[in-house]
Every structure is written in C-alpha cells, then in structure tokens.
Amino acid sequence: MADKSIALNRFGLGARPGEDPGGDPRAWLDQQLARYVAAPPVLAGQPASGTLVAAFADYRERFVQLKRAAGPPPAPPSAMAPPPMVQAGDDPVDALRRQFNQQSRDLYNGAVTARALAAIQSPAPFAERLVHFWANHFAVSGDKMEVTNLAGAFEFEAIRPHVMGSFRDMLFAVERHPAMLLFLDQAVSVGPNSPLAVRAGNRPNARRNLGLNENLAREILELHTLGVRTGYSQADVTEFARAMTGWTVAGFGRGPVAKFTGATGRQGDFVFAEAMHEPGSRTILGRQWSQQGEAQAAAVLDHLATHPATARHIATKLARHFAGDDPPPKLVARLEANFRKTGGDLPSLYRALIAAPECWTPGAVKFKSPWEWSISAMRAVGTEQLQPNAVPGLMVQLGQPVWKPGSPAGWDDVAGAWAGPDAVLRRVEAAERMAQRTRDQIDPRARAAEMFPDALSPTTAQAIARAESNSQGVALMLVAPEFLRR
Amino acid sequence: MMLHRRQLLAAGATALLVSPLGGRMALAAAPTERRFVFIIQRGAADGLGIVAPVGDPAYAGARGDLAGDFASAPRLDDMFALHPAMASTLGLYQAKQALFVHAVASPYRDRSHFDGQNVLETGGVSAYQLKDGWMNRLLRLLPAGDKAIALAATVPMALRGPVEVASYAPSSLPDASDDLLARVTAMYEGDRQLHPLWQEAMATRMLTGDLGSDGGKRAADTGTLAAKLLVAPGGARIAMIETGGWDTHSGQRGRLGNQLKGLDAMVAALKTGLGAHWDNTLVVVATEFGRTVKANGTGGTDHGTGSVAMLLGGAVQGGRVQADWPGLGDAALYEGRDLKPTTALDVLIASAVSRHFGLAPAGTAKALFPAMTMAAGMEGLVRG
C-alpha cells in the first residue's frame, strides 16, 4: 500500500470525496492532532449526563409511586420533553415503562447518529479514530438499563475532551463519570465498616443489601490500567474496592443508600460520600495507602496512571490497533518507553505511531471492525445526513451495536473477532443497500482510485469496471478486499 | 432439471471446496448420526443459583435472599433443587435425559472472564496457551463429512482452528442479489482469507434458505435455528451456541430467572426441532467459572470458581445430580469464598464426548485437552 493510502485508511477512517493527504502524509496526520475538535457542532444538541441521570431518577421514582398506589401517572418530569399521550385504559405502570423505553431509544439513536456524523464529516479522521479507540478501551455497555442513555454522554464528556491530553486525566474523567460508576456498580458499593453500614446494621429491620462491590476496582486494574496477569492479587482487588467506596453519583440512589449517604450535589455529578467510605488505611500493590476519604482512591489511581504495567498495556493496545493483531515487540517497547518518559502524554504516543515504520508496512495489517467498515463506507459515498435509526440498526445487523459490547473489555481488536463467513455476507448485503441509495451518482472507478491512491489491486479495479451499473460497482468497491481491511 | 440461480451458485462453491479435500473425503467413514451441541454461558453463571444444594446445612445462611427462589422449587434429590424457571429441563430430568454435574471447574483458577473463557474454549490449562479450540480439534477426530456450525456472527474460540467452520446468525438485512454474490465470489477468488470465508458463507446460505427472516432474536428461535441446521441432510453435526448475560453482580434474582427461562426455552426448541434426532443428541451447557457463595452488597454475586454443568439430550444417562459435594461451610470454601471444585470440567467433557462419538477415551482426552491427566474417565454419562 502506498503511504497516502495508509494515511487515509489505516490511520484515518477512509477518504471522503476529494480528500487528499498531499505530498507528506505524515505531516497531514500530525496536523490533525491540532485540528481535532473535542466538541464539534454536530454534538451540540446532545443532553448532558446530569439531565439524563435526573430523568432516570425521576422515572424510577414515578415507577415506584405507581406500583405502590396504582393511581394515574403524575405529571411528566420537568427535565425531559413532554411524553406522548398515555392511552386510555392502559395499565399506567406499563404505559410509563413504554414511554421511558421509547425516550431511551430516541436518546440512544440520537447519540449514535451524532457520533457517526462527527466521524463521517471530520477533517481529522485520525483523531476521531482515536476517540473510538479510547471509548472502546474504557468501554461501558448500554445493555444495562441505567447506562443505555448515558453511554453517549460518557464518550462526549469523559473521552473526547482528553483525547489530546494525558492518560491520567482521561482515567480520572472516566472513573468519576456516572456512566462508569453505574455500569460497574461502584455507585452502590458500601464499605462494610462505613458509617452508613454501621447505622443500617443497627436498625431493627436491617437491610442486607448494603455492602462492598468489587466490580469497578477489578476492571480498573485488569482492563483500564495494569492489564490482566500483571501481578496484582485478589486481595489487591478487594482492598482497592474498599478504598473506592464513597465514589458515587449524586442524586441517583434511592432507598437505604440515598437516605443516609449524604451524596448531595447536582444530579449526575460525581460525589464522594463520606458515609459510604470504608475507614482506615489500605494495602494495595504492596504499598500502604494512609490517605483518608476521597484522596485515598485518587492516590491509588494516580499511581496506576503512570505504572510501568499500564504503560506496557496501553502501548500494546495502540500498537495492535495500528501495526497489526500481533503487535511488533519493538514498537511496543518504544511506545512503552515513550509513555513512561512523558508520564502518559497521549499526543506524544500518537506522534510515535506516525513515526513508526511498523505502522507503514505496505500490506494491510488489520481487518476492519463493523464500525470502521461502516464509517469508511459512509465517508466513501459522501453521506451527509442520516435517518435516526440508520446507524444503530446497521450496527446491530453487522454485529457491533454501538456502546453495547456487553462486557467492560470492549470489542476485540483482532481479525478473528470480525472475519467470519456470516459477517462478510452481511457486509455485502449492507453494501448493496447503501450503494443503491447513491442512485448511480458516483463513478466507482474514479472513487476507488481516490480511496486507495496507488494501492488498488487489478482484480478489484477489474471487478468494479465490469459491474453492470454504477451502483453495483459502488457495492463491489465497498466489499473489495482493500475496503474490508486497512 | 432447472436449477435456481442460488443453487447453481452454491453448487459452484461446493465444487471448489471439495477439490482440496478430495483425498480426505475418499477415505472418510460415513458421517455420524450423533449430534452434539455446546451451549456456552458467557459471564460466569451462578451454579448455586441454578441447581441449588438446598439440603446443605450451610446453604440457607450462605445464600440469604438468593435462596428465596428455591422455597418451593422442584427437588431433584435429597440435596439439590432446580430453579423453578427451568420447567422443560425438569421434564428432561424426569425423563432421565438431564444430568447435572455440580462443583465443576475448568483448570482455570483466577477470576477474569476473558481468560476463563479462553481456557474453557481452547482446552488449555492457562489463557492463550493454545491457539485453537477443543471443538475444532474434535472435528479432526470425526469422519471428514462431519461439519460444525456456530450460531454467532463469527466463529467463537472453541471452534477456531485449521478445520473450516461456518458461522450463522439470523440477519434482518434483505438478501443481496445473486448477481452481486457471484461477482463477489470472483473478486475474492485469489484472497487467501476471504475466499474460504466466502465459500462457507455461500454454502450455509444454501442450507438455511430464508430462516433469517423470522427474527431469531429470542432464545427459542436460536434453538429452532440450530436444530434446523443440525437436521438438514449434509448439514452440521456439531453446533455451538453462545449465550451472554450471566454476569450477575447485582439484582441477581430477577436477572438469573430471566436467563434461565431463556435457556430452558432454547433447549426445548432444540428438542422439538431435532425430532427423532434428539435420541442421538448430547447437549453440554457450561460456563467459564462460578460465582461467590455469599451474596455481595448489591443483591448479586461476584466472580467465583466452582459451578454446575449440564448434560442434556436423548443420549444422556440422566435423571440424577452427580457431585462429590464439597459443602458450603466456611471451612469448605475455595479461598474462603467460592464453591470448591471437585470435578474437572475437561474430564467431564472428554468422557462424555468420546463416549458419544464412539472414540477412544484416552486419545480423545489428549487431543481435546492436551495437558489433562485423566486418571480415570467418568463412566455412565452417555449411552453408547
């Protein structure tokens, strides 16, 4: 593959019509780091997580009230648009649930569409690719009800502002965001000897469901920072979980937790609830952590953010994303050294990738994920607008529903996860439909040459040239071997 | 005779497939009548919440609220009760077609889903030690005509390896036109990765017709679809079905009940769809590891060790729970928190599968789980 084609496809998200890296593809990529816009206009209408948390809390409160009193539904919550009319004779609980689910679907579809448009329209596609990379590294999964609405806000608020900053700042933004605190159950984790647990235990009808949840603590160590099998123990996980108690979301909890937490503040904001925090100092990774309160977990997180194992973990994942499924050890070592030298400055890592010969090998090194393939296809056909459910539906059909990887590990970044017989067949079906909508307005021969400058194979060029129509030629271009890989 | 275009396309694909395999085909024995389905429960299913040891003196105290579902659950024997959501599975148990093996675990002893699933699927003793899956290695022991299919958009690790395996999941996209498919076939001809994938896709498409149109989103539809693929002449003999959603860190009672209702419906649909073939069928249901014995602070359980595995099907010698029961008292727990595993999942699978397909037990064990030391295989799991 020629350098221009590598810059467009392996680093970028595929060429838009007329996009040309010019004579110095490396400089073109470097300039994108400055050109990147954290909050582009297309994301401007997206609701903030505070609004979404308030709406969810309202919904839950109304749900409980209705269940209790089976009366007519109260007025709609002020934070959201008025709901559709409740049908006469409906069970009010069902009606409320249906109405909330519909609102959730609309919000989710809106956020996914905004994300896709930001990627399709971006003049800095390399930077947008990095947004997707980090959102997947710190994956939340919207198939958990509390997270469905928040997954978009998580990416827009915790990932995008820090993509050109430091790993440490992104880590803190992520672990304090309501989507992450709710997804991995941190928001309701209570220290067994915390004031809250002690008070609750003294009550005559003591509730049993107050206690420690080690989910987020484990995944921070295993997935977000050090990486699996890097020497931490079960005891480290439990101790870290104890240190993290009190890190929660304001205005969300109900029941015993909300009553006593003292988690006050604007709904959806991160809050440290002293009453939930396990008192005392902790032993984690062989060190004593004698800080008190919120500072304790923050100190551990600071330590993890620049830990050598974290440097190696991040270096490996970045190298895998740009240089192939089996990342070249020398590249990993250079990125790791870079991370350790700068303390995790992200643009320095990106520049090291641009400078690395391992990222410019001529043969394709990656099989595109469904998301990468879809975005590059929509860039190729010059998509300007999207129906609200077009991208969400397409991503379900291709096997990668946006922000719903089902697991905190995110989506796999290797060909084995995506290059299946049925998966390729589905791309062919989707390509044909997408091509039909171009109404023969695109000359696929010219567009393919533009997409893959000096890198189009004779077989593909011939298949496109012999197509029975322009739109069939576009479909073939979109599923050509060059287009499925980068 | 006039052939439909799609059939022609598939016939072409088959012809291309056969040529490199010709030698193997010529020597092959007749394909087996036996059917084998592996249902993987991704996310660590709570064995104690599925087949509950209600007769264990420490059970009620250890499980607290989680024991609520078993207040009036059907008893399997003096010790165990089955989750009430699994009505069809209970019927299988009564018909001696369901065997539950409790306190099982793979050789993996840490608590990462991703590493645990890798061990369960590759058949190694540690994560990423083996590069292919035990089901793919099983295919190499069977007559060459025996094929496998994954009910998933891509082939899961257990089925990955040198033997080509198809994957199929119902798609709601409209069918692509046959002309485009033929052109894609030609375009992928020289591509070493895409050519075999595409041949598999075309061959599977031929077998399944328009099955994808009826949704298949729900578990029962998946079971029905798997059965159709397994009864088709020349179709698969081995299938793997992926299920997720077992990682119940919070609100376990409602979530696990729904999961089990889905699993129960899937198995029932498999049985119905397989018809007379059910008598020759073995279904293994297993998970990467179990969950903590005690509930956590959020009405759920955290990552643990021992769990339960199920053997279902007409070929199973069922109607009992097999367990070298370690007990739930604090002193009996693994690392003070988990159900202690007393039966090796790899021994269980190797014993059941070798008997099912009439393979030599020791050789099968060595091929599927190379590091396993099968001092004595397990007897009486499957009718020979």
Are residues A422 and B296, on separate chains, in Cβ contact within 8 Å? Answer: no
Whether B375 maps to a domain, the answer reads no
Nearest alpha carbon to residue A403 among A196, A93, A144, A166: A144
Burial class (CB in 10 A: 0-12, 13-18, 19+), A136: buried
Q: Is B286 helix (H, G, I), strand (E, B) or coil?
A: strand
Tell me whether B181 touches chain A (CB under 8 Å): yes
> B177 pLDDT exceeds 80?
no
* Average pLDDT score over residue span B216-220: 62
Are residues A481 and B187, on separate chains, in Cβ contact within 8 Å? Answer: yes
Are residues A432 and B180, on separate chains, in Cβ contact within 8 Å? Answer: yes
pLDDT along chain A (486 residues), means of 10: 93 95 96 97 95 89 84 50 52 90 93 98 97 98 88 98 98 97 94 90 67 96 96 96 95 59 77 94 97 97 98 98 98 98 98 98 96 98 93 94 94 94 93 87 91 93 90 94 97
Amino acid at B80: F
Give the one of B115, B205, B335 whose C-beta lies nearest to A425's C-beta: B205
pLDDT of residue A263: 65
| Residue to substitute from A182, A407, A422, interface B, most B β-carbons within 10 A | A422
Tell me whether A481 touches chain B (CB under 8 Å): yes
Tell me whether A214 touches chain B (CB under 8 Å): yes
Tell me whether A433 touches chain B (CB under 8 Å): yes
Q: How many domains does chain B have?
A: 1
Whether B11 maps to a domain, the answer reads no
Of the candidate ranges A241-250, B51-60, B166-175, B242-251, the one whose mean pLDDT is the lowest: B166-175
Name chain B contacts of A420, Cβ cutoff 8 Å: 152-155, 167, 197
Whether B133 maps to a domain, the answer reads no
Question: Shortest Cα distance from A248 to chain B (angstroms)?
Answer: 14
> Can you tell me the distance from the alpha carbon of A62 to that of A52, in angstroms, rounded to the nearest whole number?
15
The total number of residues written for chain A in this structure: 486
Range ranked top by mean pLDDT from B27-36, B163-172, B290-299: B290-299
Tell me whether A194 touches chain B (CB under 8 Å): no
Are residues B166 and A422, on separate chains, in Cβ contact within 8 Å? Answer: yes
Give the one of A190, A423, A429 whose C-beta lies nearest to B297's C-beta: A190
Tell me whether A475 touches chain B (CB under 8 Å): yes
Tell me whether B115 touches chain A (CB under 8 Å): yes
Tell me: the pLDDT tens digits for B247-291? 888 889 988 888 898 899 999 999 999 999 999 999 999 999 999
Q: Which DSSP state fits A159?
A: I
Angle, helix A470-479 to helix A421-436, in steps of 10 degrees: 150
CA angle at residue B353 from B350 to B358, to 5 degrees? 115
Are residues B244 and A460, on separate chains, in Cβ contact within 8 Å? Answer: no
pLDDT of residue A64: 86
Whether B340 maps to a domain, the answer reads yes
As a three-state string, the secondary structure of A59-78 is HHHHHHHHHHHCCCCCCCCC
Question: Shortest Cα distance from B297 to chain A (angstroms)?
Answer: 3
* Phi, then psi, of B73 in degrees rounded to 5: -75, 150
Whether B105 maps to a domain, the answer reads yes
Amino acid at A276: M
Helices (H), chain B: 5-27, 59-63, 87-94, 113-122, 134-139, 178-188, 194-208, 219-231, 252-274, 345-357, 361-368
Looking at chain B, which residue has its C-alpha nearest residue A197? B297
Consecutive H or E run containing B205: helix B194-208
Tell me whether A229 touches chain B (CB under 8 Å): yes
Give the one of B157, B186, B297 whose C-beta lies nearest to A209's C-beta: B297
Looking at chain B, which residue has its C-alpha nearest residue A144? B245
> B19 pLDDT exceeds 90?
no
Give the one of A213, A480, A481 whose C-beta lies nearest to B249's C-beta: A213
pLDDT of residue A201: 79
Give the one of A398, A428, A468 whose C-beta lies nearest to B176's C-beta: A428
Question: Shortest Cα distance from B343 to chain A (angstroms)?
Answer: 23
pLDDT of residue A470: 87
**Size of the A and B interface in Cβ pairs below 8 Å:** 152
pLDDT of residue A422: 87
CA atoms within 13 A on the CB side of A67: 7
> B240 pLDDT exceeds 70?
yes
Question: Shortest Cα distance from B71 to chain A (angstroms)?
Answer: 19
Whether B25 maps to a domain, the answer reads no
Give the one of B173, B177, B200 whose C-beta lies nearest to A421's C-beta: B200
Tell me whether B27 touches chain A (CB under 8 Å): no
Higher pLDDT, B156 or A448: A448
| Residue to substitute from A209, A425, A470, interface B, most B β-carbons within 10 A | A425
> Can you tell me the distance from the alpha carbon of A194 to that of A200, in angstroms, rounded to the nearest whole number?
10
> Can you tell me the distance from the alpha carbon of B76 to that of A325, in angstroms, rounded to the nearest whole number?
48
Using CA atoms, how far residue B224 sits from A189, B172, B261, in Å, is 41, 17, 16
B 60-79: CB under 8 A from A: 64-65
Q: Are B202 and B185 in contact (CB under 8 A)?
A: yes
Kind of pairing, strands B281-287 and B307-312? antiparallel
Name chain A contacts of B189, Cβ cutoff 8 Å: 459
Give the one of A192, A210, A459 whose C-beta lies nearest to B187's C-beta: A459
Whether B104 maps to a domain, the answer reads yes
Are residues A188 and B204, on separate chains, in Cβ contact within 8 Å? Answer: no
Look up the domain containing B249 and give its range. Answer: 35-127+241-271+280-368
Name chain A contacts of B167, Cβ cutoff 8 Å: 420-423
> Can you tell me the distance from the alpha carbon of B204 to that of B166, in angstroms, rounded to the nearest whole number?
7
Question: Shortest Cα distance from B376 to chain A (angstroms)?
Answer: 32
Whether B52 maps to a domain, the answer reads yes
pLDDT of residue B211: 28
Q: What is the mean pLDDT of chain B?
A: 85
Burial class (CB in 10 A: 0-12, 13-18, 19+), A325: middle
> B245 pLDDT exceeds 90?
no
